[in-house]
Structure 1
Amino acid sequence: MKKLACVLALTSTFASFDAAAWGRDGHKAVGAIADRLLKGSVAQKQIQSLLLPGETLESIANWADCVKGSYCGPQTPEMLEYVNGNPQHDKYHYTNVPFQHDHYDDHGVGRTGVDIVQTLRQCIAVLQGKTDPELNPHKFTKRQALILLTHFTGDIHQPLHVGAAYVGKDGKFVAPRTQDEVNETAIFDTRGSNTLLLDDARLAELAKGLIPAGEPVPVKEGVPQALTKPFHSYWDSTTVDYAFRRLQTRTPGQFADKATGGKPQIPVIEGDPITVPYAWANHTLFVAKQAFEGVTPGKLTPQTGKKGEVYYSFALEVPANYPVPSSELAKQQLIKGGYNLAALLQAIFPEKG
């Protein structure tokens, strides 16, 4: 097996700023890949001891997003207990490092003590059985740690969940040197690229002839069709849809089967697995640069949020062939996410030698 030192496998108006990387199918694909790679291993047995009968990594992959509301169904007592004990749980899913940067560190613009890198470290520590209170400030149980690890491994491979865009008053992307510079006057925070808005009709036109046709999207009566799509939403869902179509797959399971066909090899993580999230974040910053290649912000427009706050959105332009490289990056990152999840869990629960 190929050895890696703690790193990677394989090379209308905006209404909400909630982030849900890769959407449901993307997260399930990451979990499904890991399920297949770990089949019959010691790690799989340890995983099953923490899951309920019938649960798999695929089936629990969206749990950390489902706790944000009722769109997955009624909240379970387990979900309510987690939410009540983690009032900042929505901040665990991402970090906002300027995408122009090459490395994640514990300080600087966009970093917080509860961001995705720090939360992943805590989940790993809990699964390793480390009892230092500083490594588990949220008091995660081992089951919670596994569920969160599965989801956040998917999140950290979504380029916009690590590489953030900031726009200067001249309408160009800029990398602020300090958090204080992000003052919504000279430098604007695009809120995880949620305020970078694509023309949805033009985007669909660009995809014609480049991306195989998909299933017709049902029209909801009484619901006006959105004219714009947040760039974050494009990366969460549209790129996944395009990646599935280009692989001629419709379900996460089919995607996982193709990703693990032949004789898949799980990379070996060397060193303490708790350092892995740093390496993942650094690689995703490299991918984020590719995600923003040729992308330019346009006209700034003041908007008013649900709570009356004022923020600014930017019309976004992308290259004419953007659906192809973006969906290829999404495919690679989904597959890496699944392989890296399997590698990490195998490092936490190693085969007995």
Structure 2
Amino acid sequence: MGRFSPCLCFMMLLLLLIFLANAPATQSWGSVGHHITCKIAQPLLSEAAAKAVQKLLSSSAEGDLASICLWADTVRSIYPWSYCLHFANPPGVCNYDYNRDCHNDKGEKDMCVTGAINNYTAQLATYGDFSTAVTYNLTESLMFLSHLMGDIHQPLHLGFINDLGGNRLPVQWYTRQTNLHKVWDLEIIDESLKEFYGLEISAMIEDLRRNITGGWSDEVPTWEGCSKDSLSCPDSYASESISLACEWAYKGVTAGTILGEEYFLSRLPIVEKRLAQGGVRLAATLNRIFSSGVDVYK
């Protein structure tokens, strides 16, 4: 598990953060989905968690958690071992099993999105504890966790191994050729921004926030909780995603299927709720991690 925490030189980290802060919003949960998830999460942080996050963020992030939420995608060439941490692929069944599904293509265990969330949560839990024998790069741990909490809520990041979560399932989105994974990563969100929000991401975020405090408010406590007082419970998020992938993403879709207005409108509520759940759960996880309020970084 030590492979999850190599040191990145300061200048490389600074350049990456500057790139992310200035990346166009329409760039590749693509950049818009991750941006939304982290924007939803930050106002929900407790005082202790918000303070810890501010201490861990680079100064170039200017206090904005969303500015670093795409970082984990940009370092795949620098950290090639991290590619498999963004997903887990069950073998053509509509359920998730950690022992069966959490491994990379070499069969190495724990190398998947749920294993990574567990790992980076545990690393962040050492914040303020200088007695630990291992010193982690907690800024990187925060950046990985913030991104991967978005990934695990995208249903096709838990899609089937045979089509690599829909990446090898070609479809037509309105008039364009693409694949099913990209439809869920990008196209549904982009279409929603065009049809309902005049391409204003902030307007979509505000709509989701209103739903969190309004129509979804009775559900939110169940989103936030973890069984057995765990800091994070990614297996349950993964189970939700593969179930949603079977019920909504894959349903009625074969290679070459034309997906248009009916697919978009019927699947958009699923995408919206998963974006909201990702943000709420990222905040809840960080709140649990930093609940002690210990601050040795004065």
Match of 1:196 among 169, 193, 215: 169
Change (3 A) 1:288 1:294: closer
3-state SS of the aligned residue for 1:121?
Answer: helix
* Aligned-partner residue type, residue 295 of structure 1: G
1:118 aligns with 2:121: no
What CA RMSD, in Å, does the superposition of the two structures yield over aligned residues? 3.1
State the Cα distance separating 1:152 from its structure 2 match: 0.2
CA contact (8 A) 2:102 2:111 kept: no
Question: By percentage of residues, which structure has more strand?
Answer: 1
Per-residue Cα deviation, 1:249-301 (whole angstroms, up to 9, x for no partner)? 63443322222238847634343435511111111122112223532324xxx
Match of 1:25 among 22, 25, 32: 32
The answer to which structure has the higher helix fraction is 2
Task: Find the structure with the greater CA-based Rg.
Answer: 1
Q: Aligned partners of 1:93 and 1:102: how far apart in 2?
A: 18
- Name the residue aligned to 2:8: none
Scaled by the length of structure 1, the TM-score of the pair is 0.62
Q: Which residue of 2 aligns with 1:59?
A: 67
2:251 maps to 1:294: yes
Cα distance in 2 for partners of 1:296, 1:261 equals: 32
Give distance in 2, aligned partners of 1:288 and 1:317. 18
Counterparts in 2 of 1:263 and 1:292: CA distance versus 1, 3 Å = closer
Q: Which residue in the other structure is 1:221 paired with?
A: none
Structure 1: which 5+ residue stretches go unaligned? 1-19, 70-82, 131-135, 166-188, 206-226, 299-314
Q: Is the 8 A contact 1:95 1:161 kept in 2?
A: yes
Out of 179, 188, 207, the residue aligned to residue 258 of structure 1 is 207
The CA distance in 2 between the partners of 1:98 and 1:21, in whole Å, is 27
Which of 232, 235, 243 does residue 184 from structure 2 map onto? Answer: 235
Matches within 5 A, 1:300-339: 315-316=256-257, 318=259, 321-339=262-280
Kindly report which structure 2 residues correspond to 1:75-90, keeping only aligned pairs within 5 A, or say none: 83=78, 86-90=79-83
The DSSP-based 3-state class of the residue aligned with 2:99 is coil
2:239 matched residue in structure 1: 282
What TM-score do the two structures reach when normalised by structure 2?
0.73
Per-residue CA distance 1:175-211 (angstroms, 9 max, x = gap): xxxxxxxxxxxxxx21221121112xxx326xxxxxx
Contact 2:231 2:289 in 1 (8 A): no
How far residue 243 of structure 1 moved from its aligned partner, in angstroms, is: 3.4
Task: Name whichever of 28-37 and 323-332 sits farther off.
Answer: 323-332
Unaligned runs of 5+ in 2: 1-26, 128-132, 294-298
State how far apart, in whole Å, the 2-side matches of 1:107 and 1:21 are: 30
State the one-letter code of the partner of 1:285: I
Distance 1:334 1:263, change over 3 A: closer
1:35-114 to 2 correspondences below 5 Å: 35-38=42-45, 41-53=47-59, 54-68=62-76, 83=78, 86-98=79-91, 100-108=93-101, 112-114=109-111
How many corresponding residue pairs?
249
- Partners in 2 of 1:250 and 1:128 — Cα distance? 38
Once the 2 structures are TM-superposed, how far is the Cα of residue 102 of structure 1 from its aligned partner?
2.3
